Amino acid sequence: MEIAPELFTRAKKLKRPAVDQLFAQVYPPVVRMAKGLAEASASVMVARRDAEKNRRAVEVLGSKADAIAVDMAQEGGAAAAVAAAVQKFGSLDIVVNNAGTNIRKAPQDYSLEEWHKVLNINLTSMFLCCQAAYPHLRAQNGKKGGKIINIGSMMSIFGASFAAPYGASKGAVVQLTKSLAAAWAPDNIQVNAVLPGWIDTDLTKDAREQVSGLHEKVLARTPAGRWGLPEDMAGIAVFLSSGASDFITGTAIPVDGGYSAQG
């Protein structure tokens, strides 16, 4: 079962990234987000449990990137990841909470262990990351402020018969984002959620194999007439990490080619 990585970054000033077509075709959305942030001058710490995937990510992210092999679903994982980023970069400016997994089956067929596994990875690890990052984001060399980007899903908005715990966790991501935004606005910490649409990745390839007719249904509903590409996620990450979004907090922004606009 694939679990996506978290990102912790330090950036003084972000510029708009260039588009790297080859990178976008090879690496999943969160790593493309990291590439966009790196191109915009951020130093990036990747946190995931797979050391080999970490190594490959650092290779393409460049000399200002590093990684830590850590299981974000385990207690202490989030604190270790934040501590590694602060030790490496000296401070922390941006957190992208992206750890996620899914188990697809009918609601009546889930075990309690499967339910808890999805919620622990998708939601609890996010909360723990935000808690661990908070004291570092609120005190930046005498100037308060920071950015948190929580990755939700189209299933933050819509239901799906084959993903009850995933949908529950991703819906909760939006409500957690709003709560943190309200609580930490006085500390000049902006907390927003990004809701990716149907992005063409290995994970959604599995979904297309497991859910009959999914590919055709996504194309039919999406006004843009295509599945999203990993590179489509870079721009929103840079925007929400930059000073251009300083008065935007508590939002959930779909990046979906118009999928959610259909009602």
Active site residues: 166
DSSP annotation of 143 reads: B
The CB density around residue 28, as the number of other CB atoms within 10 Å, is 22
- Selection from 203, 159, 194, 158 nearest residue 174 by Cα: 194
Computed on alpha carbons and rounded to an integer, the radius of gyration of the chain in Å comes to: 17
- Selection from 45, 25, 147 nearest residue 86 by Cα: 45
CB 72 within 8 Å of CB 46: no
Instruction: At 206, list the tokens.
Output: 């599995």
The CB density around residue 1, as the number of other CB atoms within 10 Å, is 10
Instruction: At 114, list the tokens.
Output: 């499967």
- Angle between helical axes of 202-210 and 214-221 (0-180°, round to 10): 110
CB 201 within 8 Å of CB 28: yes
Phi, psi for 44 (deg, rounded to 5): -125, 130
Instruction: At 253, list the tokens.
Output: 């922004």
